[in-house]
């Protein structure tokens, strides 16, 4: 009989957001009359902006004519988009970037999950805690995580707790990890790191030969000057960091899917023979073998984001969600909740009242106020006693949710 990848059996039976959805569906079926406000998974509610919709329509017309039809595209994405990314997302911000350092994909979730393909399964991993579960779960699948311990940690992963005690700022690792995941603005806490704080991480990686996997999926939400949008704003980062970006929360692409990953040409890891090996060709090899490229349509849609209209329309959408975040943050704080995040981020991280666990608070909010959030403990042991709300619902529902939670409205 063939054998399975045993690592999969070590994982909790369902992925965090699938478990939340399962519980919400069960509740809805039992209470069909109840109108539930969803502030759980970070899925957007605003439609695609006009610039993108127009570009998508035009791309469909291209596909309808033999002369402009596109079949398989380049696995790493079309030059018309990667050139725009290099120019608008990097060079215009003073960061050196070539288009062939950019790999367009169907989103940051896939890429943060797949990047381990080009790393040794012997690499030791460090994550902040709480953390986006994809980083941990995919390392469990690859066999890097070890065993699940009674405290909810995996034996081979170093956890860097982020809590009220340290202002949600992780300490540098002590266990000499080879690979470090950072997500800033942070999912789930909504907190950020300043330029000098991020510099410490880049310096650490340079000194210790560690790889920094930097998830910048929420960079469009940054409004404060001292918070870098890209890890490459930090000197020397191109030698130690891979950056992941997404159009999901920026431009509402959660449904149509698109993101990209930057693998700088200067970034090198160690081969078995002790020689330095560039990661850029490895990732290209991985993508060309396992991925056939994001769709032509979606890439044309994203290209339109780099026009003046596209930029303005996207900014308006992100500002809308940031205003929702302000309403949630200030409303809950005024009602006596301890909250962080929601300033440069669509996520608000709330301390559960009293001794309530994260899942108890989840059940309480669902049952009493018909509001869905995400239990903090689902993001790691240090998330216990916390709860994540998203600002991605409509203004109307956001106001209603805050009113239900606080009895005030704002
Ligand atoms: C989240 O809610 O954490 C994200 O939407 C999940 C994702 O992007 O995959």
Q: Tell me: the pLDDT tens digits for 148-189? A: 999 999 999 999 999 999 999 999 999 999 999 999 999 999
Distance of CA 20 from the midpoint of ligand 1 (Å)? 12
Distance of CA 334 from the midpoint of ligand 1 (Å)? 27
Determine which residue's CA is closest to atom 4 belonging to ligand 1: 42
pLDDT at residue number 409: 44
Alpha helices in 296-377 (DSSP H): 296-303, 308-334, 358-364
Asked if 156 and 177 touch (Cβ cutoff 8 Å), the reply is no
pLDDT at residue number 410: 39
pLDDT at residue number 135: 98
Q: Which residue out of 38, 132, 189 has the highest number of ligand 1 atoms within 8 Å of its CB and is therefore the one to mutate?
A: 132
Q: What b/e readout covers 267-290, taking b as 16+ CB neighbours within 10 angstroms?
A: bbbeeeeeeeeebbebbbebbeee
pLDDT band at 144 (very low <50, low <70, confident <90, very high): very high
Chain-centre distance for alpha carbon 67: 38
> Alpha-carbon distance 51 to 253, whole Å?
13
Distance of CA 218 from the midpoint of ligand 1 (Å)? 11
Tokens of 93: 């911000």
Q: How far is CA 73 from CA 66, 257, 298, in A?
A: 15, 16, 12
Q: How many CB atoms lie within 10 A of CB 369?
A: 15
Q: Which residue out of 41, 190, 345, 347 has the highest number of ligand 1 atoms within 8 Å of its CB and is therefore the one to mutate?
A: 41
pLDDT band at 287 (very low <50, low <70, confident <90, very high): very high
Mean pLDDT rounded to a whole number for the chain: 96
Determine which residue's CA is closest to atom 1 belonging to ligand 1: 42
**Across 205-356, where does the E strand assignment appear?**
211-215, 241-246, 259-262, 268-270, 276-278, 339-341, 347-351
Residues with CB under 6 A from ligand 1: 41-42, 109, 132, 187
pLDDT at residue number 12: 85
Distance of CA 387 from the midpoint of ligand 1 (Å)? 14
Q: How much of the chain exceeds pLDDT 90, in percent?
A: 97
pLDDT at residue number 138: 98
Q: Which residues contact 336 (CB under 8 A, 6 or more apart)?
A: none
Distance of CA 107 from the midpoint of ligand 1 (Å)? 11
Look up the pTM and report it: 0.97
């Amino acid at each position: 009989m063939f054998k399975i990848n045993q690592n999969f059996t070590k994982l909790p039976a369902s992925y965090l957001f699938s478990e939340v959805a399962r519980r919400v569906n069960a509740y809805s079926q039992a209470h069909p009359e109840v109108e539930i406000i969803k502030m759980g998974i970070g899925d957007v509610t605003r439609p695609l902006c006009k610039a993108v919709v127009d570009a998508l329509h035009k791309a469909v017309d291209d596909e309808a004519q033999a002369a402009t039809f596109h079949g398989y595209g380049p696995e790493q994405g079309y030059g018309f988009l990667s050139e725009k990314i290099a120019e608008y997302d990097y060079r215009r911000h003073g960061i050196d970037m070539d288009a062939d350092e950019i790999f367009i994909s169907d989103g940051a979730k896939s890429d943060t999950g797949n990047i381990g393909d080009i790393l040794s399964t012997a690499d030791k991993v460090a994550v902040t805690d709480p953390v986006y579960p994809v980083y941990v779960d995919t390392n469990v699948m690859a066999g890097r995580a070890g065993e699940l311990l009674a405290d909810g940690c995996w034996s081979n992963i170093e956890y860097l707790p982020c809590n009220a005690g340290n202002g949600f700022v992780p300490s540098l690792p002590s266990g000499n990890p080879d690979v470090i995941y950072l997500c800033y603005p942070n999912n789930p806490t909504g907190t950020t790191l300043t330029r000098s704080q991020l510099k410490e991480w880049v310096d650490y990686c340079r000194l210790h030969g560690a790889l920094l996997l930097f998830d910048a999926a929420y960079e469009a939400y940054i409004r404060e000057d001292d918070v870098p949008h890209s890890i490459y704003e930090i000197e020397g980062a191109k030698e130690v960091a891979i950056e992941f970006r997404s159009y999901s929360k920026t431009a509402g692409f959660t449904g149509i899917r698109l993101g990209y990953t930057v693998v700088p040409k200067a970034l090198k890891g160690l081969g078995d023979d002790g020689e330095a090996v560039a990661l850029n060709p490895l990732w290209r090899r991985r993508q060309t073998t396992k991925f056939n490229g994001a769709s032509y349509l979606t890439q044309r849609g994203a290209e339109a984001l780099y026009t003046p209209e596209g930029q303005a329309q996207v900014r308006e959408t992100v500002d809308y969600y940031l205003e929702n975040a302000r309403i949630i943050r200030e409303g809950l704080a005024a009602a006596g909740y301890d909250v962080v995040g929601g300033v440069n981020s669509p996520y608000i991280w709330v301390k559960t009242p009293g001794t309530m666990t994260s899942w108890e608070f989840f059940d309480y909010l669902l049952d009493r106020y018909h509001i869905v959030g995400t239990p903090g403990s689902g993001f790691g042991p240090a998330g216990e006693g916390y709860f994540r709300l998203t600002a991605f619902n409509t203004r109307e529902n956001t106001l209603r949710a805050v009113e239900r939670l606080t009895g005030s409205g704002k």
